[in-house]
Amino acid sequence: MLRRALLSTVILTACAPVVAPTEPAARDASADEAVEARAEIVAPPTIANVPAAVPAVKDPSCEGIDTCQGESCCTRLLVPAGDYTDARAGQVHVEAFYLDKYELTVGRVERWVAAGRPTPAADAPIGHDAAGRPMRWKDGWRVQDEDDLRGWERYDTYRVGRDDLPKNFIDWYTAAAVCSFAGGRLPNDAEWRYAAVGGEESRPYPWGTDAQTPDRAVYNCMGDGNQSCSLADILPVGSRPLGAGRWGQRDLAGSMFEWTLDAGGTDETVNRGGGFCYIGGLDRRRASVKVVDNVRRDAPATTSHMVGARCAFDAGEERGVVAQR
């Protein structure tokens, strides 16, 4: 019987994680196979052609916190429906959904803590996995308390007190609960990869075909301009606008690895996409590889200085960018 596992997603490879005690999760053991680039890539988007914002959506996780890159940290961008080629499943269709422009920030998690660390009710729906199967919150799932949200001091963004830094040292359960508090959910694996590769364009990098460089992604401990690793290398979310994906999301490569929703089997999860410490091909030890091929495995209770999250939202009749002001 195939073992299955919860997923976390991102686009770069990473440093050795700091791991908390784990508990069973689930997903196909072959989940580390990533989508292959199969098409000629068009020119990456420029900042000028990223969609403009439309009417605000109320999100309690952004009430009273600082902005991110001059706009709401809860800005959501539409990812239109379409298809992409998956190395395992072939042609995959993804329905339209909204995906946060920015990774989950310290400020948003602090708002969740201030609200009493709410969780979905037992058996409440929390989304659908990549195969379309409904997922529900289980009685007994535990989220992190405020002490647990603090990690290794050398890289812990929660201690800094800046609303616009990506929240690291967050486990899958807590990430799912924070996104639920915001009115959303974690993106499933197919949604995250579809957004990262630009749908049918199958980009090797979110921004297109150009190789990864420090002005496109936060990686290799060079966020502060040198290669010694420190907390200063973890930059505010969205700091590399030239690295935006096809639909405007930032930090799909670099910054944090990001949890995805999918669940299934017994003991581990998968992260794809990022890590401020290393990016595939530029970690000074490996041959160049496509960013979309990078993956790490974690159990849902794992925390790491390189693992964060990003929230997704179902698309109704609205179209365009949804931004809280």
Tell me the residue range of the domain where 201 lies.
1-325
Q: Give the DSSP H/E element, type plus range, for residue 178.
A: helix 172-181
Q: What is the pLDDT of residues 106-160, one digit of tens each?
A: 999 999 999 999 999 999 999 998 888 899 999 999 999 999 999 888 889 998 8
Classified as helix, coil or strand, 117 is: coil
CATH number at residue 216: 3.90.1580.10
Cα separation, 114 vs 93, in Å, equals: 38
Cα separation, 233 vs 220, in Å, equals: 9
- Cα dihedral value 242, 98, 59, 252, nearest 10: -30
Neighbours of 197 (CB within 10 A): 31
Pair of tokens at residue 179: 């996104």
Q: Percentage of the chain with pLDDT > 70?
A: 67
Counted domains in the chain: 1
177: confidence class by pLDDT, cuts 50, 70, 90: very high
Pair of tokens at residue 277: 């410490």
Contacts of 314 (CB under 8 A, 6+ apart): 97, 98, 184, 185
310: confidence class by pLDDT, cuts 50, 70, 90: very high
The answer to whether residues 107 and 68 touch, using CB atoms and an 8 Å cutoff, is no
Q: What is the pLDDT of residues 10-67, one digit of tens each?
A: 333 333 333 333 333 333 333 333 333 322 323 333 334 444 343 346 789 998 888 9
Q: Percentage of the chain with pLDDT > 90?
A: 44
**Buried b / exposed e along 200-217 (16+ C-beta atoms within 10 A):** ebbbbbbbbeeebebebb
Lowest mean pLDDT among 11-20, 84-93, 252-261, 272-281: 11-20
The answer to whether residues 183 and 19 touch, using CB atoms and an 8 Å cutoff, is no
Short-list 312, 308, 247, 246, CA closest to 276: 308
285: confidence class by pLDDT, cuts 50, 70, 90: very low
Residue that wins the pLDDT comparison between 317 and 100: 100
